[in-house]
Amino acid sequence: MNGLVEWGSVLVLLAVGFVFGGRSERRHYKSIQNRETKLLALPLKSETKLQVSEIEDVLLVTGSVAIASDYLKTFIANLKNIFGGRLSSFESLMDRARREATLRLKDQAAKWGADEVIGFRLETSTIRQNGIEILAVGTAVKFKKLST
Amino acid sequence: MKYVPKPDLDNPNVSKSHPLIDLAFLLGGVTALALIALFAFQKFGERLVVLLPAEKEAAWLKNLSVEKEFFKVSSHWRTERELNELLNDLIKKTQFVSPYNFNVKIVCDETPNAFAIPGGKIMVTSGLLERLKTKNGLVFTLSHELGHFKGRHHLKKIIRSVGMSFFTSLAGFESQSQALTLVSGLLNLSFDREQELAADLLAIELSKKYFGGLNGASELFEVLSKEESLSSSIPSWFLTHPHSEERIKVIRENSNENQNEIEKYQAPGNKSLCL
* Span B202-206, average pLDDT: 91
Q: Which pLDDT belongs to residue A46? A: 92
| Binary contact (A1, B27; C-beta < 8 A) | no
Q: Which pLDDT belongs to residue B173? A: 66
Query: What is the edge-to-edge ordering of all strands in the sheet holding B121-125?
Result: B103-107, B121-125, B114-117
Q: Which pLDDT belongs to residue B186? A: 62
A38 to chain B: closest CA residue: B7
CA distance B48 to chain A (A): 29
User: What does the pLDDT look like over B4-34, one tens digit per residue?
Assistant: 777 766 788 888 888 899 999 999 998 899 8
The pLDDT confidence band at residue B253, using thresholds 50, 70 and 90, is confident
Q: Which of B60-69, B76-85, B255-264 has the lowest mean pLDDT?
A: B60-69
- For residues A54 and B151, give the distance between their C-alpha atoms in angstroms, rounded to a whole number: 94
Inform me whether the C-beta atom of residue A41 falls under 8 Å from chain B C-beta atoms: yes
User: What does the pLDDT look like over B145-187, one tens digit per residue?
Assistant: 999 999 898 888 888 888 887 877 777 666 555 655 666 666 6
Superfamily (CATH) of domain A2-143: Hypothetical protein apc22750. Chain B (3.30.110.70)
| Binary contact (B26, A7; C-beta < 8 A) | no
| A33-42, B2-11, B253-262: which is most confident | A33-42
- For residues B140 and A81, give the distance between their C-alpha atoms in angstroms, rounded to a whole number: 56
Q: Which of B36, B173, B180, B182 to mutate to test the interface with A (most CBs of A within 10 A)?
A: B173
Contact B136, B207 (CB under 8 A): yes
The pLDDT confidence band at residue B1, using thresholds 50, 70 and 90, is low
Inform me whether the C-beta atom of residue B12 falls under 8 Å from chain A C-beta atoms: no
Contact A144, A77 (CB under 8 A): no
Q: Which pLDDT belongs to residue B238? A: 62
Answer yes or no: pTM beyond 0.80. Answer: no
- Name which residue leads in pLDDT, B66 or A26: A26
Instruction: Select from B11, B23, B173 the Cβ nearest to the Cβ of A72.
Output: B23
Contact B150, B173 (CB under 8 A): no
* Span A139-145, average pLDDT: 91
CA distance B11 to chain A (A): 9
Provide ipTM, 2 decimals.
Answer: 0.77
- For residues B247 and B222, give the distance between their C-alpha atoms in angstroms, rounded to a whole number: 10
| Binary contact (B177, A1; C-beta < 8 A) | yes
Q: Which pLDDT belongs to residue B275? A: 75
Q: Which pLDDT belongs to residue B169? A: 76
From the list B271, B269, B264, the residue with the least C-alpha distance to B216 is B264
- Name which residue leads in pLDDT, A35 or B181: A35
Domain boundaries, chain A: 2-143
Alpha carbon separation from B11 to A103, B22, B38, B94 (Å, rounded): 16, 20, 43, 81
Q: Which pLDDT belongs to residue A28? A: 95
Report the DSSP beta bridge partners of residue A63.
Answer: A136
Inform me whether the C-beta atom of residue B28 falls under 8 Å from chain A C-beta atoms: no
| Binary contact (B177, A91; C-beta < 8 A) | no
- Name which residue leads in pLDDT, B11 or A103: A103
User: What does the pLDDT look like over A105-133, one tens digit per residue?
Assistant: 999 999 999 999 999 999 998 877 778 99
Contact A88, B15 (CB under 8 A): yes
Per cent of chain B over pLDDT 90 is: 17
Q: B216-245: b or e for each residue (b if 16 or more CB lie within 10 Å)?
A: bbbbbbebbbeebeeeeeeeeeebebbbbe
Domain boundaries, chain B: 51-273
Inform me whether the C-beta atom of residue A88 falls under 8 Å from chain B C-beta atoms: yes
Q: Which pLDDT belongs to residue B65? A: 65
Q: Which of A11, A91, A115 to mutate to test the interface with B (most CBs of B within 10 A)?
A: A91
B23 to chain A: closest CA residue: A76
- Name which residue leads in pLDDT, B110 or A28: A28
* Helix (H) / strand (E) containing B124: strand B121-125
- In degrees rounded to 5, what are phi and psi of residue A119? 60, 40
Inform me whether the C-beta atom of residue B1 falls under 8 Å from chain A C-beta atoms: no
A22 to chain B: closest CA residue: B19
| Binary contact (A91, B8; C-beta < 8 A) | no
| Binary contact (B177, A3; C-beta < 8 A) | yes
* Span B85-93, average pLDDT: 92
From the list B196, B45, B66, B158, the residue with the least C-alpha distance to B120 is B66
Q: How many CB pairs under 8 A join A and B?
A: 68
Q: What count of residues does chain B have?
A: 275
Residue B193: pLDDT over 90: no
* Span B63-68, average pLDDT: 65
Residue B62 corresponds to which amino acid?
A: K
Q: Which pLDDT belongs to residue B184? A: 62
Q: Which of A57-71, B12-26, B65-79, B127-141 has the lowest mean pLDDT?
A: B65-79
Q: Which of A93-102, B22-31, B151-160, B195-204 has the lowest mean pLDDT?
A: B151-160
Per cent of chain A over pLDDT 90 is: 68
Q: Which pLDDT belongs to residue A136? A: 96
Instruction: Select from A3, A72, A116 the Cβ nearest to the Cβ of B172.
Output: A3
